[in-house]
Amino acid sequence: MEYRRKIFTIIELLSMVYRFIQWLSLGFLRPENKLRVLAYHQICPLRNEYSPEISQQIISPEAFSEQMKLLSSERYTVLTVNEALQYLKSETPFPAKCVCITFDDGYYNYYKYAFPILSQYNIRATFYLATGYIGQSFNWLHS
């Protein structure tokens, strides 16, 4: 069982590295005056009980931290969604190297894992809450 867990972890790490390289190759790091939106769905330790579809939506806290470290060290301007809307409404060009960071669904793991990392790098983000589900748990992650 431990061997399977290690293999699964290695495969997931390789998958994350591949996706990150794809992300870079799409021109994300070019300092053009375009807004990029980084949308996150789950930030938690990877576990092999998740379905493959769900696993693709999960990023580990370590990988998320590396991404935020990169944005910070490369001096990206991180806008909230409201700030980005103000740029659009005023037809003002976006600053070079700017991004919005969003989190969907309002999971507790954002508070547990993402918030400390965002605070560490002084990065702001926009969190969307599914208010009809507050206080409930979801079993669909494991199906």
Query: How does pLDDT run across 24-47, given as a tens digit for each residue?
Result: 555 544 556 789 999 998 888 876
Position 12 pLDDT exceeds 90: no
CB atoms within 10 A of CB 142: 10
Q: pLDDT higher for 10 or 74? A: 74
Position 50 pLDDT exceeds 70: no
For residues 79 and 99, is the Cβ–Cβ distance under 8 A?
yes
Q: Would you give the DSSP letter of residue 126?
A: E
136, two tokens: 């409930």
Q: Which residue has the tokens 């431990």?
A: 2
Selection from 17-21, 57-61, 99-103, 133-137 with the highest mean pLDDT: 99-103
Q: Each residue of 67-84: pLDDT tens digit? A: 999 999 999 999 999 999
Percent of all residues in the chain with a pLDDT value above 90, rounded to a whole number: 34
Q: What is the pLDDT of residue 142?
A: 47
Q: What is the pLDDT of residue 47?
A: 65
State the angle between helix axes of 61-73 and 2-25 in degrees (0 to 180), rounded to the nearest 10: 30
DSSP character string of 15-83: HHHHHHHHHHHTTTTS--S-EEEEEESEES---TTS-HHHHTTEE-HHHHHHHHHHHHHTTPEEEPHHH
> Bridge partners of 59?
43
Q: What is the pLDDT of residue 41?
A: 85
Q: What is the pLDDT of residue 143?
A: 44
Q: What is the pTM of this model?
A: 0.69
For residues 16 and 60, is the Cβ–Cβ distance under 8 A?
yes
